[in-house]
């Protein structure tokens, strides 16, 4: 009668040693740096596009009540949709590649940044705006001398949190 050995156990996740060996294999073949650069490229462009689109749009929506009443329902419908749920649409629109990944990162960062900008504008104390109007500032001067300085701290925090958590 032959002695039967149990096969090697199957792991769902790789062991820490298998990860180290995989990183070593990527280093040996010169692929690790290439993959890191590709990931940085996608995250940088997706996040940068989200900042360029979401922050000005959020400032406009937060400043203009009519724009908020018109666009807020659409924002609240699209916001809870997970970026992972957009994967099939991203593949259909952009194919499998960098553009689809950039689009998904953009979507993941867009709504948190948009809401941060909207809330930052809404959170400006009325006394700041009234003081600017009392000094006779035009609308453009009110935006550049009161709105921007008041919202910059919240925008920076929102961008830091969004890039660190959602972008990656």
- For the chain, which residues make up each domain, given as ranges? 16-167
pLDDT at position 139: 87
CA atoms lying within 13 Å on the CB side of residue 65: 0
Q: Which residues of the chain have pLDDT under 50?
A: none
Distance of alpha carbon 103 from alpha carbon 43, whole angstroms: 10
Matching CATH number, 16-167, of 1.10.3720.10, 1.10.10.10, 3.90.79.10, 3.40.640.10: 1.10.3720.10
pLDDT at position 165: 84
């Amino acid at each position: 009668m032959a002695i039967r050995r149990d096969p090697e156990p199957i792991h769902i996740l790789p062991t820490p040693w298998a990860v180290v060996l995989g990183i070593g294999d990527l280093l040996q073949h010169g692929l690790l740096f290439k993959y890191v650069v590709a990931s940085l490229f996608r995250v940088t462009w997706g996040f940068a596009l989200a900042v360029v689109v979401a922050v000005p749009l959020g400032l406009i929506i937060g400043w203009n009540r009519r724009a908020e009443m018109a666009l807020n329902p659409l924002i609240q419908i699209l916001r809870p949709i997970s970026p992972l749920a957009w994967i099939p649409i991203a593949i259909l629109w952009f194919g499998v590649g960098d553009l689809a990944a950039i689009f998904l990162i953009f979507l993941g960062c867009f709504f948190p940044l948009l809401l941060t900008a909207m809330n930052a504008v809404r959170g400006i104390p009325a006394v700041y705006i009234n003081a600017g109007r009392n000094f006779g500032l035009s609308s453009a001067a009110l935006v550049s001398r009161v709105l921007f300085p008041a919202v910059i701290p919240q925008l920076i925090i929102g961008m830091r949190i969004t890039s660190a958590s959602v972008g990656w």
